Amino acid sequence: MTTQRQLVVVGNGMVGQRLVEAVRQRDPERRWRITVLGEEPRPAYDRVALTSYLTGTTEAELGLVPDGCYDGDSELVLGEAVTRIDRDARVVETSAGRVVPYDALVLATGSRPFVPPVPGADLDGCFVYRTIDDLDAIRDRAGHVASGVVIGGGLLGLEAANALLSLGLSASVVEFAPRLMPAQVDQGGGEVLRRKVEELGLAARLDTATERIAAVDGGLRMSFADGSSLDTGLVVFSAGIRPRDELARAAGLAVGERGGIVVDEACRTSDPSIWAIGECALAGGRVYGLVAPGYEMAEVVADRLLGGDAAFLEADMSTKLKLLGVDVASFGDAHAATADALEVVYADPVGGVYKKLVVTDDASRLLGGVLVGDASAYAALRTMVGQPLTDTPEKLLLAGPSTSDLGDDAQVCSCQNVSAGAIRSAIHDEGCADVASIKACTRAGTVCGSCVPLLKTLLTQSGVEANPALCEHFDVGRAELFDIVRVTGLRTFSEIIARHGRGRGCDICKPAIASILASLGSGHILDGEQAALQDTNDAFLANIQRNGTYSVVPRVPGGELTPEGLIAIGEVARDFGLYSKITGGQRIDLLGARVEQLPAIWKRLVDAGFESGHAYGKALRTVKSCVGSTWCRYGVQDSTSLAIMLELRYRGLRAPHKIKAGVSGCARECAEARSKDVGVIASENGWNLYVGGNGGFRPRHAELFASDLSDAELVRLVDRFLMFYVRTADRLQRTAAWIEALTEEHGDGLAYLHRVLVEDELGVCADLEAAMDRHAGSYTDEWAAVLDDEEKLSRFVSFVNAPEAPDPSIRFVTERGQIRPADGAPVVAGPTLEVVRR
């Protein structure tokens, strides 16, 4: 019988735990007895999802150690740091005096946060962002302050800033580099990312060095190299990592000049009995700060321990994540370091989209790329790196690659190194019929989750019907969940998830259920626990802008505005110092309002006869109109009166996405009705109804649905169309995409809608009309409801301990006679596509 050998692993982080499981998979005969020594008091947990701990995910839900992992001949020791390695005796010693012998020793000690040598960095209120204990400390401090600053604008820095926002703080990021995420995205992508995150309430100070931090009045004052300063309640350092190599140094192992335990392609150190993996290892002259390379190292060492010859040569540094709701991805040679590379760039600053592909100088192979704002093609593009292009770079940028072109060798999941062939084998040979079973079988999609959309596509291409689940907490889609809530009468998220879901919910299902409850008329959106479900704009009944201020858009039905009303809006803009602008939907936008000013602004507008225009909600926005037959010599119908009537009927209607409508008084189409979700164009005999149009990233023209309708017939059909859309569309699905999805399911989406809404094939038309009647009859203005409720009013403050105080970080300059945010870059007028030779 073979004598069992002793494997000791120092560190029970994600990579150390992965090594244990990889060894056990390869070692059914248990040739190795494993002892893991962890410094933290808890077993391995998912640091990639660490921020979710602040939004309800429990410590147990983050846990990565499966039941039964440490039983029999495996042992996990927690709360004991390894203090010494005796290479001659082949033992390690711990802080508790434990002495553990080894035949093979694996160092998985990870890294520590880098805290720049800034005077005051050790003051109370300064934190790092690394462990659950760190987050507990940050959350405790956040309960007593109103703002926070993150030093470092990289991946983890933006995650930390997102955490501060989730704790209800106003948040800023200070980055020494001239752009956010400097290691992953280029200058163009960084600029679009900055715009997007500032629109969501995060202030970014770039190209800024922090000189010192001082304690002032119960808070902290940060002083910068340019002479400016910023007062805040807490500071989080997220300025990079440093490998924890102190054990190796003390034991005489080779380390890099700038840190990191030197390892060869087998991840073996200068001592053949000792290995190093993860963020403590210096492989090929580089320390890898992502989990995927660490997992790959763990697999290599596991293979070597069992007699294999696996090698760690070069890791895939591709990254995709959602930061503050913004998709960001980079892959391959993202910075065009390859000689004679070409960059093909699509930039739409207004739409918040930036895409770049790096290709060889003959445009035959893909080298890398950057995606910001729309990373839907990331998974497929990443698999093509180094491969011949399947289409022109321009078409790949705008339309994305076809996943049917993926060969079996193409890597789908870089975190777990899973190929397209392995996924297809799991589907066809192992019977995997959904994403969850593919995850369980192959581990693809279990770390960062960026490849999950591609897993769904491969399932569909393999003939497996896609799982309609809304998210991991609900097994049904939005339409089914809408019917469940409607039929059961449940009116709180906690009741719905307790009876029909599991867990605590997430940023997918919470806003979706908030929208469903609002669509069903479940009271004011800030009542009770509904307030906690809302997105940022809905939570404050206003659109947050790039510098943390808000815009106020009163409803102006049909664009019709009396002189008195126009004067009232002008006086509000003047008295509160707001920027005023006519919108594309015939309304007036008042920008630059601080959160504590919103109720006072609403009060003035409500007293003047205005109400919320729902510019902040996934709801009806406007019904645009021309002047029609009342004034225009070409008009054949009264478009203004109809537009006002439609807007007043559907105002406040919450939906899966925003809804826009237009009414044109003749075929000249001055209201641009065919670019709207609901478009109405006058004819000599009545009204022609068009549906399913929208602007945005993929503009669509609405299609003719019915002709020569009377006013009553038109309203009846629009009632049915909008309510059927509200009930059956997927989350965040515009009417155009909804009709396209109906086409995939029923052959012709418009014809199907005609059968359902005109011929009443499903027998639901009377119910749809009744539901819209109930909505119209129960409408109340959300602004006015806040003004009448002291509890709701208490939400609208910048600082809970100084309700009247303005946020000092908000600054304006004057331009063309009006304010605009200070330090703002000019907006580029429209998308561009260019090819740059490096």
Residue 558 neighbours by CB distance under 10 Å: 25
- Please tell me the number of Cα atoms within 13 Å of 585 on its side-chain side: 25
**Arithmetic mean of pLDDT, 577-590:** 92
| pLDDT(812) > 80 | yes
Query: Is residue 334 pLDDT above 90, yes or no?
Result: no
- pLDDT tens-digit series, residues 249-298: 999 999 999 899 999 999 999 999 999 999 999 999 989 888 889 999 99
Map out the domains of the chain with their CATH numbers. 5-112+243-305 (3.50.50.60), 115-239 (3.50.50.60), 318-401+808-838 (3.30.390.30), 403-467 (1.10.10.1100), 478-534 (no CATH)
CA distance 640 to 526: 33
Burial of 314 (C-beta count, 10 Å sphere; 0-12/13-18/19+): exposed
Q: Of the given ranges (222-236, 288-302, 322-336, 594-608), which has the lowest mean pLDDT?
A: 322-336
pLDDT at 690 over 90: yes
Q: Which two tokens mark 591?
A: 């920008």
H or E segment and range at residue 660: strand 659-664
- In angstroms, the CA 202 to CA 173 distance is 7
Least confident of 79-83, 464-468, 663-667: 464-468
496 vs 601: CA distance, rounded Å: 36
Interatomic CA distance for residues 743 and 737, integer angstroms: 10
pLDDT tier at 828, thresholds 50, 70, 90: very low
pLDDT of residue 2: 60
- Cα–Cα distance, 778 to 329 (Å, whole number): 44
Beta strands in 311-424 (DSSP E): 319-323, 326-332, 342-348, 353-359, 366-372, 411-413, 418-419
Amino acid identity of 352? Answer: G
Q: Binding site annotation covers 441?
A: no
- State both tokens at 432: 């995997």
How confident is the model over 699-708, as a mean pLDDT? Answer: 90
Beta strands at 219-224 and 274-276: parallel, antiparallel or unpaired: unpaired
Euclidean distance between CA atoms 614 and 722, whole angstroms: 17
Question: How many degrees, rounded to 5, is the angle at CA 297 between CA 293 and CA 299?
Answer: 115
- The three-point CA angle 663-666-672 to 5° equals 45
Of the CA atoms within 13 Å of residue 776, those in its CB half-sphere come to 16
Rg (CA), the chain: 29
Q: Which residues contact 688 (CB under 8 A, 6 or more apart)?
A: 680, 681, 682, 704, 706, 707, 708, 709
CA distances (Å), 428 to each of 299, 336, 412, 461, 626, in order? 26, 39, 17, 11, 57
8 Å CB contact between 461 and 403: yes
Q: Is 267 flagged in the annotation as binding? A: no
Q: Do 822 and 829 touch, CB atoms closer than 8 A?
A: no
Q: Which residues have a Cβ under 8 Å from the Cβ of 697 and sit 6 or more positions away?
A: 348, 351, 353, 374
**For the residues of 486-548, what is the DSSP string, one character each?**
HHH---SHHHHHHHH--SS--TTHHHHHHHHHHHTT-S-TTSGGGGGGS-HHHHHTSEE-TTS
Q: What does the buried/exposed string (b/e) look like for 794-816 if buried means 16 or more CB atoms within 10 Å of the residue's CB?
A: ebbbbbeeeeeeebebbebeeee
Higher pLDDT, 441 or 278: 278
pLDDT for 831 beyond 80: no
> pLDDT tens for residues 344-354?
888 877 677 88
**Tokens at residue 670, please?**
């001055």
Four-residue CA torsion sign, 599, 604, 608, 612: negative
Distances in Å between the alpha carbon of 626 and those of 316, 332, 642, 663?
Answer: 55, 51, 11, 7
pLDDT number for residue 697: 53
Alpha-carbon gap, residue 254 to 282, rounded angstroms: 10
Encode 178-209 in three state secondary structure. Answer: CCCCCCCCCHHHHHHHHHHHHHCCEEEECCCC
According to DSSP, the residues that pair with 706 across neighbouring strands are 689
pLDDT per position as a tens digit, 31-70: 999 999 999 999 999 888 888 888 778 888 889 998 888 9
Query: How does DSSP classify residue 658?
Result: -
Q: Torsion-angle region of residue 667: left (phi > 0), alpha (psi -120 to 50) or beta?
A: alpha
Q: Provide mean pLDDT across the span 421-433.
A: 85
* pLDDT, mean of residues 315-326: 66
What is the rounded CA–CA span in Å between residue 143 and residue 233? 10
- Secondary structure element (H or E) that encloses residue 172, with its range: strand 170-174
- Distance (Å) of CA 781 to CA 12, 340, 352, 552, 586: 54, 60, 31, 14, 20
Q: Taking 80 as the threshold, does the pLDDT of residue 445 lie above it?
A: no
CB 677 within 8 A of CB 706: no
How far apart (Å, rounded) are the C-alpha atoms in residues 800 and 594? 14
432 known ligand binder: no
Would you state the pLDDT for residue 350? 67
User: Per the annotation, does 509 bind a ligand?
Assistant: no
**Matching residue, tokens 């405790």:** 140
